Every structure is written in C-alpha cells, then in structure tokens.
Structure 1
C-alpha cells in the first residue's frame, strides 16, 4: 500500500485555460512548444484540442473553429495562383522581347 503523501496530486485546469491553450495551437504554435513553456504534457494538450474539435466527450464550452481554409477555397486559390503565374511568365517574355528590339 502506498502512502497518500507520496502520491502525486493531479493538477486541475479550468476551461478558460484549456481554451487559451487550444487557441495557441490554432494560432500556429506547436504543441511541443506550448507544453514546454507551460510545463504540462503534450498528451494533455492533444486531448484538449481533440475535445475542442468535438471528436470526444467535450468538456470545453465552445469548440474552436478550424483556422484552415476549406477544400473548395483551397482549390480555387490554387487555380488563381496558376493563372497569375502564367500571366507573369507571359509578361516576362514580352518584356524580354520588347527590350531586345529597341
């Protein structure tokens, strides 16, 4: 039997603290960096993030909206990027042709 004094007590974190940590992840900070700076385990942070996204028993009050762009928006932006790159390349060629002829 173990003595109660030798057992580690679990730390309790309030909902606002958990939400703040999840917001740090959404802002782009890595889980490892957050865990080091706050002195808590990475697994706990991953669990809070999973709970905030609603994939398990949600203990956080509000799920954090994903900061990523939807797939359709992503595809539209890729298409626009390709078109702009093509226009840029055409203008570069035209500039080279006109600068040689003068």
Structure 2
C-alpha cells in the first residue's frame, strides 16, 4: 500500500527545480532529501511549462491553467447540482398543482 503524504511546499519544490537546473540530478537529490526522483522530474517539467519552455515531449497546461481548470470543474459540478435540484422541485410543484386542480374541480 502506498503512503499518502501532504504535498511538498512550493518553496521546497522550487529549490529542487533550481538545484536540477544548476546541474544536480533528480536521483542524487532524491537520496539526499527523501523525495522520489520522479517527483523532482515532474516539478522540473512543470516549471519548464510554466516558463513557456516545455521540455521535448512534456507539453501541457501551465500551473495557472490547471488551477483554473480545477476551479471551473468545481463550479460546473455546483451548477449541475443546482440544475438537478431545480428540475426536481419543478416536477414536484407540477405534481402538486395537478393534484390541487383535480381537487378543486371535484367541488
């Protein structure tokens, strides 16, 4: 079973990126700081995308675009939930008005 740990602070990730850019290898930093080499490699790739200079084969969204995508997906879920609630309420009220109109016509 894998261990789940909180994300590393942004300052720490930035320091790892700078050390790699200065010539240290992700494997070396992994052993020294207890971070997986793959995580460090991912941070370097994301930093390159954010700087507008993606590494070959590492195209993707910038961090700002990723944050906006997360925000928009959350907002979409909220709007869909509100739409579903309104649809159910409309159906419920439509059912009540049919029952009310049937009762009043019997009088």
TM category (shorter chain) comes to 0.3 to 0.5
Higher relative contact order (CA 8 A, sep 6+): 1
Q: Which has the larger radius of gyration?
A: 2
TM-score (normalizing by structure 2): 0.45
Where is the helix percentage greater, Structure 1 or Structure 2? 2
